[in-house]
Amino acid sequence: MEKYTELLKNAYEAMDNAYAPYSNFHVGACVKTKDGKYHKGANVENASYGLTNCAERSALFHVYSLGYRQDDIECMAIVGQGNTLITPCGACRQVLVELLKRDTPIVLGTGEKVLVTNIEELMPMAFTSEDL
């Protein structure tokens, strides 16, 4: 896990920037690109709940907006608060399937709990562009 210390630190820093006045559930994410840069994202809620954006989508959309693509992403972290290990929602899993390579490490963290996984493990038999 030492390999992901800086990644997790950045994700927890991003969590502090969450805008979550309705759920009070703060989530942070960080994408590390192969050029060594860290890109943070936080959840941003909206009174019209369907317009809320999760932290992992915020971070990945930011990375793609800068011109990075799948091959440029080294790993990502998603962290939250509470006693249960945080995992991406269904919408985020679908976005991760599209924007990450299947074996890109995804580090999930909550407090002392940490799990390194990937989108293939989180969403087996995913619907992709290959299904169109």
How far, in Å, CA of 122 to CA of 94, rounded? Answer: 10
Q: List the catalytic residue out of 2, 6, 45, 56.
A: 56
Residues facing 106 on adjacent strands:
76, 117
Residue listed under structure tokens 């030492």: 2
| 73-99 burial: b if 16+ Cβ within 10 Å, else e | bebbbbbbbeeeebebeeebbbbbbeb
CB 55 within 8 A of CB 94: no
CB 51 within 8 A of CB 24: no
Task: Please say if 56 is a catalytic residue.
Answer: yes
Residue type, 131: D
Q: Catalytic residues, which ones?
A: 56
